[in-house]
């Protein structure tokens, strides 16, 4: 939970090394991931995102969550 929400440097998919480097220096990170969803204090998702799939080489929205 301490790296899933603000405050801290925003971390996106593929930036694990950057996040680990910041954490090793005592800095805060905010893992945004691909969705930008925040979490409540009990770990429930707060916000919405689109679930997508790739069909025929193109993204298609499956549903909004």
Dihedral through CA 15, CA 16, CA 17, CA 23, nearest 10?
110
Q: Are 33 and 12 in contact (CB under 8 A)?
A: yes
Q: Which residues have CB under 8 Å from 7's CB, separation 6+?
A: 28, 30
pLDDT at 36: 66
pLDDT tens-place string over residues 5-26: 889 999 988 899 999 999 999 9
Alpha-carbon 23 to chain mean position: 16
pLDDT at 20: 96
Q: What's the Cα-to-Cα distance from 14 to each of 22, 30, 32, rounded to whole Å?
A: 15, 14, 11
- Taking the model in full, what pTM does it have? 0.60
pLDDT tens-place string over residues 19-59: 999 999 999 999 887 776 777 878 777 777 778 899 999 99
pLDDT at 30: 92
């Amino acid at each position: 939970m301490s790296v899933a929400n603000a405050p801290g440097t925003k971390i996106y998919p593929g930036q694990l090394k950057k996040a680990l480097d910041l954490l090793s220096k005592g800095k805060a990170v905010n893992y945004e991931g691909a969705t930008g969803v925040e979490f409540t204090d009990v770990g429930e998702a707060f916000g919405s995102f689109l679930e997508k799939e790739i069909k025929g080489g193109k993204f298609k929205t499956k549903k909004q969550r």
